[in-house]
Amino acid sequence: MPMDAASYINTLEQLGLEQRQAAAPTFAVVDLAVDESFLGQLYGAMTSSAITWSSLLTGTRWESAWKTGPILVKLSGHEKFASDIAQDMANQPLGMLIETPLDASSAHTYFQSLLLSTARQDETLFRFYEPRMLTALLAALGEKRHRLIRKGEAWSWHDGYDWKACRSDFHAATDLSSEPPKLSSEELASVPQYRTADKAIRYRHAYRSHLPDAPDQTVWIMARLLEARESGLKSSALQERWLRLALQHGASFQKTPPFEKVMHDPSMTPQERLMAMESLSESSHAAVSG
């Protein structure tokens, strides 16, 4: 476990992501499934001049459902609208901002091909624009990420905590018409692990004054988050609450009294077990302080 965790963490830390939003985005990929009102916002911004946009589902089997799919919006020359979209993205997982030399037609072709890059006979969609997943995706791609973000491009997204940006480097693809990279099943399977490692890095800073004196504190945190996930706690919020219990009572708290009995209660859901253990923790603190 520690060696694997360290590998995930090191890969993420070596991505060299910047903490910023795009200064002058040329496009945005917006997920209409996240905000049904966005189309009204888009149409309302066209009072003085037209804004070029297109659905990335055009010409696919999902075209009839385009109002709940991703669209590509050209932001060049619309600074106020670009600023409004960035603010929306900071408040909800709406999509991503792109700086690219591609024109609207070429950008549509490329990002649609990326959307379909994992499809077999047009069966599945690759939601590359999901901002909560994008950091983990770049890590899972390894060196292939240099073919994802092309020469002269930068992508930026808000992951729910901070703005992050990835700019192409000298390894990036120069042929803007080439096919995007495809993820293998192994790479796709590693994305959840990278997401957990990304949270561990963030929590290391948030809880630095409460962490144990472990050889690698980020690895220690990731182990706790994986324990939470394996215990049936799927959301980030629930996993963070498990981490807080571990910070108070130690790494193996769930295997010790009085928590062990709760963990083996078959009548309770994972979330109910967590709530029960939190109540036990509060009771023990109250008893000590009293």
Question: What pLDDT does residue 3 have?
Answer: 43
Assess whether pLDDT exceeds 50 at residue 208: yes
Residue from 37, 33, 76, 77 nearest 55 by CA: 33
Give tens-digit pLDDT for 41-53. Answer: 999 999 888 999 9
CB 33 within 8 A of CB 75: no
Which pTM value belongs to this model? Answer: 0.85
Query: What percent of the chain shows pLDDT beyond 70?
Result: 91
CB 150 within 8 A of CB 173: yes
Assess whether pLDDT exceeds 90 at residue 270: yes
Question: What pLDDT does residue 187 have?
Answer: 85
pLDDT band at 285 (very low <50, low <70, confident <90, very high): low
Which residue bears the tokens 């209409």?
A: 32
Query: What percent of the chain shows pLDDT beyond 90?
Result: 72
For the ranges 23-37, 156-170, 228-242, which has the lowest average pLDDT? 156-170
For the ranges 126-135, 137-146, 204-213, 256-265, which has the lowest average pLDDT? 137-146
Q: Please list the helix, strand and coil fractions of the chain in percent, rounded to the nearest 5, in that order.
A: 50, 10, 40
The mean pLDDT of 257-273, rounded to a whole number, is 95
Question: What pLDDT does residue 288 have?
Answer: 45
Question: What pLDDT does residue 149 have?
Answer: 87
